[in-house]
Amino acid sequence: MVGWSNYFVCKDGRLGDGTSNQAKNLPVLIFENVTRVFGGVQGYGVFFTTKNNELYAAGLNQSGCMGMGNNDDQKSPVKVPNWKAEDILYLQTNDNHSILITKEGKTYGCGRAGYNGLTQDKSTFTEIEELKNKKVVEYFGGKNISLALTNENELFCWGFDTDNHPIGQYGNTTIQKPHKFNLPEIFQNNPSIKLKITCGTQCIYLYPSYNNCLIPDFQKLFESKIFCDSKLSLNENTQVPIHKIIVESRTNLQISTIEDLLNKESFSKQEILLFLKWVYFDEITNVELLKHIFNSLNISYPPKNTFQKDLHDLFNDEDSKDFTLLIKNDDEDDEDDDEDEVYEEILVHKIILLTRSGLFREMFENTTEESKSVKDYYGKSIESIEILIKYFYTEKIELTADHDILLVIEELEDSIEYYQLNENSNILSQLNEIKNKL
């Protein structure tokens, strides 16, 4: 940064390099072994944590917004007492106040009253009374406003309420204590939607983040071990049952290759199970072990692909699809076998269908292992079935202008119960959002 902008961050010693009101046209080293840096909107200073698990602050300390127990400006970094880096989830300095959220979800403020969530100026971080029984999971702050989101999807706000500001539903005034924000209807009483927020100096953005059911569904598959079609053989003559397509698609390796590479290192069954938890549902409980296994498999760590992306790639892999879904494309609820009946075909991975749908799971339990197809008597349009199948892989409902959107929405709404989807399925939430945009 050069010019005026660079001068601005140095103003009043806010850069923390030991000088005041001196522009810096090149980066200046102010501290080493820094692990995280916290700033804010028009913030008066900067916070950062170190490898020694300590919290430091530097800058203009108006109203005690640096949380150091005094109002003295700090032109060089000074340790903030009573705080450990490992305890901090969010920390933001905005204008003349700062807000800190711990990993336990507790919310603290310091600095100027009316903006810090407290009723008086505080020069040390003090827990905000109105949020003591709440677990805050996200925080965003504008110049003079704060938004705190709890794990129960409650949004609290406080600070200076200017004309036409979104928190103006409470009137044009300063809200010194956190008040619950009246959310749009789409976010109310809907457990499958998680609220996401961000804000600027005079604006707030709210948007939905849907529950992802892929992880819970595949965790259940892993724990139940149903429909396993292969195994990993280990050195100590033990075998771990697996689903071949899941393991191979996640590692991009054949089962025989995985066995050879893992057996060279003599991994135990317990260690392999920890690795498979990552394969099936992205769980990482032992980083060093997982790195060791990845290194043994010649796979880069951390993994390049997320679980959801891997399944999306699997959806596009036509060659590996091992099952055919036969769709009777009419409105008749007729399960009679008729040799003259015409069915449309959708290629799928059997393991995906039985993992994501209770109905398909029951179907496959009643078919022979050698069976390569099953008839679906849903009786709805082929377009709706195709959209649903893609949802099983991607967790997303994707409609285009070529679809009869209202018809597809109606059929997908009916499909939730028919196909016995996960009770936390987010299909209905996505469909409601699509309808709201029509």
- Domain assignment present for residue 9? The answer is no
pLDDT at residue 1, as a whole number? 27
- Domain assignment present for residue 424? The answer is yes
Q: Is the pLDDT of residue 7 over 60?
A: no
Q: What is the mean pLDDT of residues 72-95?
A: 89
Q: Is 367 helix (H, G, I), strand (E, B) or coil?
A: coil
Could you tell me the sign of the dihedral formed by the alpha carbons of 265, 269, 273, 279, in that order?
positive
Looking at the structure, tell me whether residues 133 and 226 fall in a common domain. Answer: no
Q: Is the pLDDT of residue 387 over 80?
A: yes
Looking at the structure, tell me whether residues 52 and 110 fall in a common domain. Answer: yes
pLDDT at residue 24, as a whole number? 61
pLDDT at residue 16, as a whole number? 62
> In 321-429, at which residue ranges do the beta strands (DSSP E only) sit?
323-327, 344-348, 373-376
- Domain assignment present for residue 146? The answer is yes
Residue 220 buriedness (CB in 10 A; 0-12 / 13-18 / 19+): middle
Total domain count, the chain:
3
**Which residue did the predictor score with more confidence, 415 or 433?**
415
Q: What percent of the chain has pLDDT over 90?
A: 40
Looking at the structure, tell me whether residues 307 and 350 fall in a common domain. Answer: no
Strand partners, 145: 159
Angle between helices 307-315 and 382-394 (to 10 degrees): 150
Two tokens, residue 399:
């409609």
Q: Is the pLDDT of residue 81 over 50?
A: yes
Q: What is the mean pLDDT of residues 63-84?
A: 89
**Which residue did the predictor score with more confidence, 12 or 47?**
47
Q: Is the pLDDT of residue 190 over 80?
A: no
Looking at the structure, tell me whether residues 152 and 256 fall in a common domain. Answer: no
Q: Is the pLDDT of residue 121 over 70?
A: yes
Looking at the structure, tell me whether residues 256 and 339 fall in a common domain. Answer: no
| pLDDT tens sequence across 311-368 | 999 999 999 999 999 987 555 445 555 556 788 999 999 999 999 999 999 888 877 7
Q: What is the mean pLDDT of residues 261-281?
A: 91
Q: Is the pLDDT of residue 14 over 70?
A: no
- Domain assignment present for residue 21? The answer is no
pLDDT at residue 11, as a whole number? 46
Residue 365 buriedness (CB in 10 A; 0-12 / 13-18 / 19+): exposed
- Domain assignment present for residue 4? The answer is no
| pLDDT tens sequence across 41-65 | 666 778 989 888 999 988 888 899 9
Q: Could you give the count of Cα atoms lying within 13 Å of 263 in the half-sphere of its Cβ?
A: 14
* Contact indicator for 265, 296 with CB cutoff of 8 Å: yes
pLDDT at residue 41, as a whole number? 65
Residue from 14, 11, 31 nearest 22 by CA: 11
pLDDT at residue 131, as a whole number? 95
Looking at the structure, tell me whether residues 327 and 307 fall in a common domain. Answer: no
* Contact indicator for 75, 16 with CB cutoff of 8 Å: yes
pLDDT at residue 134, as a whole number? 93
Q: What is the CATH number of the domain that holds 337?
A: 3.30.710.10
Q: What is the CATH number of the domain that holds 187?
A: 2.130.10.30
Q: Tell which of 166, 185, 210 closes a domain.
A: 210
In the sheet with 323-327, reading across from the earlier edge strand, the strands are 344-348, 323-327, 373-376
- Domain assignment present for residue 22? The answer is no
- Domain assignment present for residue 19? The answer is no
Q: What is the mean pLDDT of residues 96-125?
A: 92
Residue from 99, 127, 130 nearest 112 by CA: 99
Query: How many CB atoms are located within 10 Å of the residue 123 CB?
Result: 18
Q: Tell which of 162, 185, 210 closes a domain.
A: 210
- Checking 46-52 for CB contacts under 8 A at 24+ apart, the result is 46/14, 46/15, 46/16, 46/93, 47/80, 47/91, 47/93, 47/98, 48/77, 49/85, 49/88, 50/85
Whether cis (ω within 30° of 0) applies to the bond prior to 302 is yes
Q: Is 30 helix (H, G, I), strand (E, B) or coil?
A: coil
> How far apart are the C-alpha atoms of 105 and 90, rounded to whole Å?
10
- Domain assignment present for residue 377? The answer is yes
Q: Is the pLDDT of residue 34 over 80?
A: yes
Two tokens, residue 60:
């203009």
> How far apart are the C-alpha atoms of 434 and 206, rounded to whole Å?
16
Residue 318 buriedness (CB in 10 A; 0-12 / 13-18 / 19+): exposed
Q: Tell which of 313, 331, 365 closes a domain.
A: 313
Q: Is 229 helix (H, G, I), strand (E, B) or coil?
A: coil
Q: What is the mean pLDDT of residues 168-183?
A: 71
Q: Is the pLDDT of residue 293 over 60?
A: yes
Of 20-34, 105-119, 340-354, give the lowest mean pLDDT range. Answer: 20-34
pLDDT at residue 142, as a whole number? 75
Looking at the structure, tell me whether residues 38 and 140 fall in a common domain. Answer: yes
Angstrom CA distances, 421 to 328, 337, 394, 399, 426, stand at 21, 26, 14, 20, 10
First to last CA, the chain: 45
pLDDT at residue 4, as a whole number? 35
Q: What pLDDT band is residue 74 in, cutting at 50, 70 and 90? A: confident
Of 207-211, 221-225, 278-282, 429-433, give the lowest mean pLDDT range. Answer: 207-211
Of 111-115, 128-132, 174-178, 403-407, give the lowest mean pLDDT range. Answer: 174-178
Mean pLDDT (the chain, rounded):
83
* Contact indicator for 204, 167 with CB cutoff of 8 Å: yes
Looking at the structure, tell me whether residues 172 and 220 fall in a common domain. Answer: no
Q: What is the mean pLDDT of residues 73-78?
A: 85
| pLDDT tens sequence across 138-155 | 888 877 788 898 988 888
Q: Is 401 helix (H, G, I), strand (E, B) or coil?
A: coil
Whole-model pTM: value is 0.61
pLDDT at residue 167, as a whole number? 53
> How far apart are the C-alpha atoms of 150 and 112, rounded to whole Å?
24
> How far apart are the C-alpha atoms of 165 and 144, rounded to whole Å?
11
Looking at the structure, tell me whether residues 54 and 151 fall in a common domain. Answer: yes
Looking at the structure, tell me whether residues 80 and 167 fall in a common domain. Answer: yes
pLDDT at residue 54, as a whole number? 92
Looking at the structure, tell me whether residues 285 and 355 fall in a common domain. Answer: no
Q: What is the mean pLDDT of residues 376-394?
A: 91
Q: What is the mean pLDDT of residues 368-395?
A: 88
Q: What's the domain range around 66?
A: 31-210
In the sheet with 34-38, reading across from the earlier edge strand, the strands are 34-38, 45-50, 54-59, 74-84
Looking at the structure, tell me whether residues 261 and 303 fall in a common domain. Answer: yes
